[in-house]
Amino acid sequence: MAEPEYIGLDGLELLNTSPGELHSGNFPILEDMSPVNLRLLNAACHKITVSKGVQIPHEGAMPYHLFFLKKGKLAIAKHLDSKLRVLAHLLPGSVYGEFGVLRGRPRNASVITIEASEVLRVEMSAVRQILDVDTTFRDAINSLFRQRLLSTFFLRHPVFRVMPAEARNALANELPVQFHERGSQVFKQRDAPAGVHLILSGEVDISLHHEPDSDVLLETRNEGDMLGEACLGGKEMAYSATAVSDLDLLLLDKDTIRAIQAKHTSFLTGLGPFINKRNEQTQSRLKQISA
């Protein structure tokens, strides 16, 4: 059965007038949410008791809910280098599942109960309905999403994972994330370079304008790769980049690189070879097209 786009408000006034399980006393992220929206969340909420060692949800699962941890302790874990690595621990009052809610793609990490826990599972349709009208809640969910997305990316990326954990965590809370909707153009061939973009999530088509009215797809790049490494004479982008899906990027421009170096002085030592290696691969592909 298809998921409903909206949960109707008819009859919500007949619900118990108590705040329900979901309120700001249990979950600070709900502070300033209107009574009507809180009642909508609670109407779409189902409390479950979960034993120790259960994945709820598991990495790769399709998103249907946003989760609120009422009691217990959880671990966010992801398969990195063929091992399940713990990225963070969640305590009561935490929220998770934001990646699936905001991007509608399979979960990018597992959440595992470290001890028996109580979890409140809220239907995604209700969450999205509230995100459409409650800017404070939307901003809080987006902030949580950006921080966790960057934390995960830094831990698995060869240039960032050598940093001390404190530096990575600080950067995850400070650096901005660029969002591009599916089908939008990140930059065009011959645009002036703004810096190097690191792909945090999503896919990007890389294309070359080869002949009059003709574009050639060089490749499709995804999470962990980069954009903008190849320039013509250092002044023009060598290719165009278009978002195949909703896309999250970290732009390494001069200001961002300075901010990162302030946390880890040897950052450029690892970044330079990483960019150069990708540029060599791209130049090889460009020569094949031009031949």
CA–CA dist 117, 65 (Å, integer): 17
What separation in angstroms does the CA of 269 have from each of 168, 191, 234, 259, 275? 16, 27, 20, 15, 11
- What is the model's pLDDT at position 151? 92
Whether the Cβ atoms of residue 168 and residue 45 lie closer than 8 Å to each other: no
- The full set of domains in the chain, from first to last, is 12-148 (2.60.120.10), 177-290 (2.60.120.10)
Whether the Cβ atoms of residue 109 and residue 59 lie closer than 8 Å to each other: yes
pLDDT above 50 for 153: yes
Give me the chain's average pLDDT, please: 89
pTM of the model: 0.86
Backbone angle region of 190, left / alpha / beta, with phi > 0 → left and psi within -120 to 50 → alpha: left
pLDDT tens across 125-151, in order?
999 999 999 999 999 999 999 999 999
The full 3-state SS of 41-79, as one line of letters, equals: HHHCEEEEEECCCCECCCCCCCCCEEEEEEECCEEEEEE
Structure tokens at 248: 């999250």
pLDDT tens across 163-221, in order?
999 999 999 999 999 999 999 999 999 999 999 999 999 999 999 987 667 788 999 99
pLDDT tens across 240-282, in order?
999 999 999 999 999 999 999 999 999 989 999 999 999 999 9
